[in-house]
């Protein structure tokens, strides 16, 4: 589709490299070419846009073979417009000056022309071909016949159309017929598969028999070797017992000799320890005796000094008390007595005692 823009009442067309533009005004051709751009007036311009690139046209149609079986044909035709001027004269490729869209449907007309022409030639070749041959060689035959028919069609060059290539992708019968045709092949394939399965099973059975025989022979050989192994183990056990007995005898002798040596060494060590203990005891006794004598002397000296101190203190005490009057001594004696007496909760004084005490107090205070 052409790119059309509007500027100040005029329009500008910009074509694509794959589109051929033809511009007429008043019946005169003003612009003609591919990928051109120009200004024009919408009211006086007649513009055609013809695509010149290769185009693919896919088609699917049904045909009938010589044995009256329906088949579906899938094909693709590649074509291009080789003469844009001729194509624009035979088909309506004119575009709207305002939008750039085709006014008609030229490509659909070309598709219809190519499809009907290809279908005509495909039907002609399939109508004379049985279904089995059509399924085997029909694709190549139909492709070749369609290519020849399109190349010989006079309407295509007259319209400026060139056919580039023809491809036939598939040629299929109806599902029921296709299923019926597949059945013999499937049966044959199944038979081949079954035969291969039977052969594989036979081979597997033979291999299993061989494996079983090998296993039996292996078990027999293993049993024989097991018997030899048992005999060898008995011999080895006896040999090990004899070697253990000899080793135990040697070990006992060595243990006895070691015990004797240990006893002798222990006796010698005990003697040495006793001698050392005796010497140490003698030394400790001498040291203890010396310490006892020293302590006794110190205690005697201390006792003597303590006695002398006590005697001096007693003499001083007596001397002091000898110089004090009798009343003071009585007071000190009462105080000392009160300090040494037990605690007294209550005192009961009789009238006789109270009278005597008052009399003594009065006698003391009188003089």
Q: Which of 146, 140, 83 is nearest to 114 (CA)?
A: 146
Q: Which two tokens stand for residue 161?
A: 């159309």
From residue 125, alpha-carbon distances to 90, 122, 225 in Å are 30, 5, 83
User: At residue 260, does pLDDT exceed 70?
Assistant: yes
Whole-number average pLDDT of the chain: 84
CA distance 148 to 51: 25
CA distance 111 to 205: 66
- 162 against 9, higher pLDDT: 162
Residues 6 or more apart from 56 whose CB is under 8 A from it?
A: 76, 77, 78
CB-based contact 21:36 (threshold 8 Å): yes
End-to-end CA distance of the chain: 167
* 221-250: pLDDT as tens digits: 898 898 889 889 888 888 888 888 888 888
CA distance 64 to 76: 20
Q: What is the pLDDT of residue 76?
A: 94
Calculate what percentage of the chain has a pLDDT beyond 90. Answer: 21
Residues 6 or more apart from 118 whose CB is under 8 A from it?
A: 59, 75, 77, 146, 149, 150, 166
The region that residue 343 occupies, defined by phi over 0 for left and psi between -120 and 50 for alpha, beta otherwise, is: beta
Please report how many Cα atoms fall inside a 13 Å half-sphere around the Cα of residue 52, on the Cβ side.
19
* 298-334: pLDDT as tens digits: 887 888 888 888 888 777 777 776 666 666 666 666 6
- The arithmetic mean of pLDDT across residues 180-192, rounded, is 78
Q: What is the pLDDT of residue 367?
A: 46
Q: Which two tokens stand for residue 138?
A: 């029909």
C-alpha dihedral, 186 to 187 to 189 to 193, nearest 10°: 130
pTM of the model: 0.49
- The arithmetic mean of pLDDT across residues 44-71, rounded, is 90
CB-based contact 82:151 (threshold 8 Å): no
CB-based contact 4:98 (threshold 8 Å): yes
Which DSSP symbol is given to 18?
Answer: T
Q: Which residues pair with 27 in a beta bridge?
A: none
């Amino acid at each position: 589709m052409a790119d059309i823009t509007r500027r100040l009442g005029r329009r500008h067309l910009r074509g694509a490299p794959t589109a051929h533009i033809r511009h007429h005004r008043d019946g005169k051709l003003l612009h003609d070419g591919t990928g051109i751009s120009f200004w024009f007036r919408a009211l006086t311009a007649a513009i055609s846009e013809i695509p010149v690139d290769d185009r693919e046209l896919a088609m699917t149609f049904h045909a009938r073979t010589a044995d009256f079986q329906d088949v579906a044909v899938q094909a693709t035709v590649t074509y291009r417009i080789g003469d844009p001027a001729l194509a624009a004269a035979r088909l309506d490729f004119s575009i709207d000056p305002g939008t750039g869209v085709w006014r008609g449907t030229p490509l659909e007309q070309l598709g219809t022309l190519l499809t009907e022409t290809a279908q005509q030639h495909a039907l002609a070749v399939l109508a004379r071909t049985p279904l089995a041959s059509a399924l085997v060689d029909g694709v190549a035959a139909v492709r070749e016949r369609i290519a020849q028919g399109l190349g010989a069609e006079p309407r295509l060059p007259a319209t400026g159309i060139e056919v580039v290539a023809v491809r036939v992708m598939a040629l299929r019968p109806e599902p029921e017929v296709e299923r019926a045709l597949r059945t013999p092949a499937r049966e044959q394939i199944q038979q081949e598969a079954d035969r291969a399965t039977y052969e594989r099973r036979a081979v597997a059975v033979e291999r299993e028999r061989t494996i079983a025989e090998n296993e039996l022979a292996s078990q027999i050989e293993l049993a024989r070797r097991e018997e030899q192994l048992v005999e060898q183990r008995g011999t080895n056990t006896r040999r090990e017992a004899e070697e253990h007995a000899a080793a135990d005898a040697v070990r006992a002798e060595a243990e006895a000799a070691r015990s004797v040596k240990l006893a002798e060494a222990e006796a010698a060590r005990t003697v040495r320890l006793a001698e050392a203990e005796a010497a140490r005891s003698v030394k400790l006794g001498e040291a203890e005796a010396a310490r006892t004598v020293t302590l006794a002397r110190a205690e005697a000296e201390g006792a003597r000094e303590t006695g002398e101190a006590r005697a001096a203190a007693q003499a001083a005490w007596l001397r002091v008390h000898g110089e004090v009057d009798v009343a003071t001594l009585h007071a000190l004696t009462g105080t000392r007595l009160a300090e040494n007496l037990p605690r007294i909760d209550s005192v009961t004084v009789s009238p006789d005692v109270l009278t005597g005490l008052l009399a003594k107090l009065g006698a003391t205070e009188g003089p």
